Amino acid sequence: MLVDLLSLVSLVIDLQIDSNQLRGLGALRMLRVFTLLRVERDWRICNPLISVLVKEAKLLGGAVAIAMTMLICCSVIMFYVEAPSNPKFGSVADCLWWGTTALTTVGYGDLYPESAMGRLVASITAFLGIGLFALPAGIITTGFRLEEERRLQRKLSVPLDEEMSPSDGGIQDFQLELLRGIQRLEKKLEGLEHKLEDMHGEIQTLKTDRHKA
């Protein structure tokens, strides 16, 4: 309801406001983007991502702490190495900006070291930046794999005679076939169990008749 209301507001703005009148309100047209939330509401696309982020919050927090420590250390080292000969690195704030662009391997080029020691520090920082993003990427990838295993385990633990919804977690075809195969196998085992019970009862009856004879 709220998403539809926001979209309606943006439509009314388009119809009522001229191009030269209150042009600043034209930015409210971006409210139409909120209609994408209806897709999330129907399909729950972001649920796996949110679940992974919540479960791996401690590891991701540790990765962020490592990143901040690396940023501060590299920036401070660059400040003491480069500031005496390069006025562009005259403050720790400027060095933090440089450290951010270096660790993210962006390299805008507005700040760059000129001394040999500064370039050495910059090279080390760039290599550290490559590994810096591999750490959270690996954590999230492992989290998705574990989440998929947990989801499949939940599917296998529910009663097999319940019908699976195709939109429930987006279970794949081979997993559905696996569940159906297990269901058929369970029914066959139940039938064999009943037959064994009947055979056991007949054997007991024969033994009783034999003793009486």
Residue 60 CB neighbour total at 10 angstroms? 18
On whether the CB atoms of residues 76 and 172 are closer than 8 A, the answer is no
pTM of full prediction above 0.85: no
**pLDDT the model gives residue 160:** 45
Tell me how far CA of residue 207 lies from CA of 193, 201, 202, in angstroms. 21, 10, 9
Write out the residue limits of the CATH 1.10.287.70 domain(s) in the chain: 45-157
**Residue among 14, 7, 62 at smallest CA distance from 36:** 7
**pLDDT the model gives residue 181:** 79
**pLDDT the model gives residue 78:** 93
**pLDDT the model gives residue 125:** 92
Quick: pLDDT tens for 4-16: 666 666 666 666 6
Q: Which of 3.40.50.10580, 1.10.287.70, 1.20.1600.10, 3.40.50.850 is the CATH number of 45-157? A: 1.10.287.70
Quick: pLDDT tens for 143-199: 888 888 888 777 766 554 454 444 444 445 666 777 777 888 888 888 888 888 888
Quickly list DSSP for 45-114: TTHHHHHHHHHTHHHHHHHHHHHHHHHHHHHHHHHHHHTTT-GGG-SHHHHHHHHHHHHTT---SSS---
Please give the average per-residue pLDDT across 90-116, as a whole number: 89
pLDDT confidence bin for 22, thresholds 50/70/90:
low
Q: How far is it, in rounded angstroms, from Cα 210 to Cα 207?
A: 5
**pLDDT the model gives residue 204:** 81
pLDDT, the chain, mean: 78
